[in-house]
A = this chain, B = another copy of it.
Amino acid sequence: MKRDSRLSGVLHVLLHMAEADAPVTSEAMAKAMRTNPVVIRRIMAGLRDAGFVHSEKGHGGGWTIARDLADITLRDVYAALGSPELFAMANRTETPGCLVEQAVNAALNSAFQDATALLLNRFGAVTLAALSADFHARMVTSGKFIDLESGHAA
C-alpha cells in the first residue's frame, strides 16, 4: 500500500518555517523538500484553516507560524490534516452479517483502538517546541548548521 507521508512532511515544513524570520514561500519549501509548491500548499491547507499558520499573497508573502510552537502538538497537526487513517490494515467488511467475521473484527478492532489511543496520546505529548529543541540539540551535536540558501540543515 502507498503510505501517507503528509504528517512527516508537514512537520518538516513547520520546523523549517520556525527557523525563518520572514514568510516562507511554498516554492522555497518545495525546493527544500524536493517536491512541488502545490503539494506544500495542499498539506498546509488544513493547518491554515485550523489557525496554526497564516498565508499571505503577493510580494513578501508566504507562510508564517501563527501560534507559539509550545502550543501546537503533533496531535493538533495530525487533526489539522484531517485525522488520516493510522493503520495499513482494514477489516474485510466493516458491518458483516457473518458472525465469524464479527468475531474477527471485534478482536482486531479492540487492538487497533488501543493502538490508536496510544498513538494519539503520544502525539498529544509532543509539541513543535520540543521537536525544535531536539533539532537544535542535534545541530549542536553534529556540528552541522543551517544552510541559509535552502533553509535546510546541511
A3 and B5 contacting across the interface, CB-CB below 8 Å: no
The smallest beta-carbon distance between A95 and chain B, in angstroms, is 13
One complex includes copies of this chain to the number of 2
Main DSSP-derived SS at the A contact region:
helix
* Of B87, B90, B103, the contact of A134 (CB 8 Å cutoff): B103
Most B CB contacts (10 A, CB to CB) among A3, A126, A154 go to: A3
Task: Tell me the bound Cα distance from A26 to B146 in angstroms.
Answer: 59
State which residues 122-144 of A face B: CB under 8 Å.
Answer: 122-123, 126, 130-132, 134-135, 138-139, 142, 144
Residue-wise interface mask of A (47-75) relative to B, using a CB-CB cutoff of 8 A (1 in contact, 0 not) = 00000000000000000000000000010
B103 and A8 contacting across the interface, CB-CB below 8 Å: no
Q: Which residues of B lie under 8 Å from residue A101 when comparing CB positions?
A: 8, 12
The smallest beta-carbon distance between A87 and chain B, in angstroms, is 6
